[in-house]
Amino acid sequence: MDQNVEFVNLEAKRKNLLQKTVNNYKRPFRTKNVFFKSLVGFCPSIQWLPNYNLQKLYQDLAGGLTVGIMNIPQGIAYAILAEIPPVNGLYTVLLACLIFPFLSSWPHGSLGPFAVVELMCGALVRRLMADDTLDFETTPTEIISTLTFLTGLFHIFLASLRVTFITEYFSGALVGGFVTGAAIHVLISQFDSFLGIMKIRSSGLLYLFKNVIAICSQIPNTNLMTLGIGVVSVAFLLIGKMIVTPALNASLKKKLTIPYELILCIVATIISYFFDFNGRFNVKIVGDIPQGIPMPAMPNAALLQYIWTDALAITVVMVAVHLSIATVMCQKKGYVVDDNQEIYAVGATLAVSGLFPTFPAANGLGRPLILSECGAVTQMANLIAFAFTFVVVMFFASFFYCLPMTVLAAIILVALRNILKGFKELPSFYRISRYDFVLWCVAFGATVLTDVIGGLIISLCFQLLIVTWRTQWPKWEACYSKRKHKMDMCIYRFEAMLIFSNARLFKKTVEETLRKWNAQGLGPVPRVFIFDFSGVTHIDTAGLKALQEMVEAIKRAAASVNFVEATEQVQRQIQLTHPILEECGFYDSAEELIFDSSCKPNEQPITILSTNPFDFQLHESRI
């Protein structure tokens, strides 16, 4: 190997957050080219829309029509979940498909109804409408549109500070457990519409179980016609999605996306109209859905003090889910998505949508996957979905007047099956990481036992507790010679930063290792204690003091002290602390240390990381 190879050192640059943010805002104004590139970065459609290749139109058309068709029944159904009129769901998907495509850097990103977010909206509406302390009158529509606007502002604020790194604390286990727990809330909330019974709403700790008990007490009052329509609707959707579509895909050797939800809504509306389900059987229907688009209106500022915590919680959930799904799609498709730009795009979409009677449109796994499977390659697909939705809102919205509410409940229940598949992740988490397994269970349990916001707070706190736990009680291991060699060696490995929170553990475990090593004396041979610091990336003053005390104790035991695989920064910190640490040896590997200390001509170095149990005795932490 050429000994004259030169390397360039790359080091992480740590900047003050404020300084970094200011520099990010100053950079676009340095030159015209930089300004144009920044403008393109803020509005990616400036780059792809003028250069759009019409050959891609067929692929985008297929994906856009599929998403547009899917958005109609879901928009109506999830508006009911948010406790607002069904038409508001149509306005939501309409504006989301219009604004988001121009700002998103994600080819398959798509905003629309998301059960968890709409559940949180519904909980807010019920709480405020039952609050007698409000000194002004309001409506569910006004509450949710103001919530949408404020959620958009929170998104923009997070993106402007470029602090999307906070989503790193929302691990896959946390998001999976939280979303699955929230899905249980959505599931229970649909049984009143599915059974045709009186709405049951409770609050407080364990309110979900109170609702279940109340629903069970109402079962004798079930509307059998409503239940029958719901069961048939669920059966139709499940048979279509799980049997018919896979069979057609296998026979045609291509993937088809059939809009079973829209077919169900159209057929159910027609049958309900001709058989007068509402008048003859007291089946609840959607009712009036006005055509056209309302004029924008400013949000109610008086509501902000009552809803800002909910808006912040929804923002956190949306950002975590959006970026998690984007990461999955990036890995699958091999493209790159700008996280901050995505949050800007969602924020701008919600801020504008909040001027209309809408609920917060969020990302979900279904729409990006559908766009991908249909072959869509640009955000033109969302604009096509907008065109389809616009036609429905302007000319056909009133058609759904006779649509039974139980059909919408059936659509939501079937849609939850993908979220409830989160239970399948548990065996994998258990095999790979017990920490993630416990975190998933805590996130799920906390969400089910409290409510969605309470579950989110508890889950995040537990995640931070795990991070602290793994720092304060990290893994460590030690091995020492069991047979007499040229040297009596002991190797101690610490797998974390050596800082104030774990300095005491470090001292305790080194003392334990030293005691056991001393107890088995192997005779008059050189004694070497080796600190394997390959896992130590940083040492603070408390850690250095603990290390100094341990080095002094080891030297009193008539052993030399050496460090292997310590980074340059850690080595520099150690050597500048105390003369006794400066005297220690530093080597790139344990093999190099032993070769340097004990090898003579024609002799082989000892392999210290031997798997032979007769050569070394291993002792490791049980944490």
> CA-to-CA distance for 550 and 571, rounded, in angstroms?
16
> What superfamily does domain 474-597+605-620 belong to in CATH?
STAS domain (3.30.750.24)
Domain coordinates of the chain in residue numbers? 15-51, 52-468, 474-597+605-620
Joined together, the tokens standing for residue 431 give 């095999």
CA 33 to chain centre: 35
**Per-residue pLDDT tens digits for 85-144:** 989 999 999 999 999 999 998 888 899 998 889 988 998 998 898 887 788 889 999 999
> What single string gives the DSSP state of each residue in 219-250?
GGG--HHHHHHHHHHHHHHHHIIIIIHHHHHH
Interstrand relation of 488-494 and 527-532 (parallel, antiparallel or unpaired):
parallel
End-to-end distance of the chain based on CA atoms, in angstroms? 43
Closest alpha carbon to 388 in 86, 62, 102? 62
Give residues with Cβ within 8 angstroms of 421, minimum separation 6. Answer: none
Highest mean pLDDT among 331-340, 542-551, 572-581: 542-551
Taking each helix axis as running N to C, give the angle between helix 405-420 and helix 172-189, from 0 to 180 degrees, rounded to the nearest 10: 160
pLDDT at residue 33 tops 80: no
Whether the Cβ atoms of residue 496 and residue 474 lie closer than 8 Å to each other = yes
pLDDT at residue 467, rounded to an integer: 83
- What mean pLDDT comes out for the span 295-308? 92
| Res. 594: pLDDT tops 70 | no
CB 371 within 8 A of CB 158: no
Cβ contacts of residue 137 below 8 Å, gap of 6+?
none
Kindly state the average pLDDT of the residues 564-582: 83
Average pLDDT, the chain: 83
Q: Average pLDDT of 164-176?
A: 77
Sorted by sequence, the CB contacts under 8 Å of residue 281 that are 6+ apart come out as 223, 225, 226
Q: Are 323 and 164 in contact (CB under 8 A)?
A: yes
Instruction: Please tell me the predicted confidence (pLDDT) of residue 419.
Output: 79
Tell me the mean pLDDT in the region 393-421. Answer: 87
Q: What element of type H or E holds 156? A: helix 140-161
Give, for 393, the enclosing helix (H) or strand (E). none
Angle formed at CA 341 by CA 340 and CA 342, multiple of 5 degrees: 90
Supply the pLDDT for residue 412.
Answer: 85
Which pLDDT score, from 0 to 100, does residue 228 have?
95
- pLDDT score at 523: 63
Helix (H) / strand (E) containing 579: helix 579-582
Amino acid at 5: V
Residue 55, both tokens: 């050959």
Is 202's pLDDT higher than 80?
A: no
- pTM for this model (two decimals): 0.77
Amino acid 190 reads Q
Residue 606 clears pLDDT 60, i.e. is over it: no
CA distance 296 to 301: 15
Contact present, 408 and 194 (Cβ < 8 Å): no
CB atoms within 10 A of CB 18: 9
Main-chain phi, psi angles of 577, to 5 degrees: -85, -50
Spatial separation of the C-alpha atoms in residues 239 and 70, rounded to whole Å: 17
pLDDT value of position 26? 62
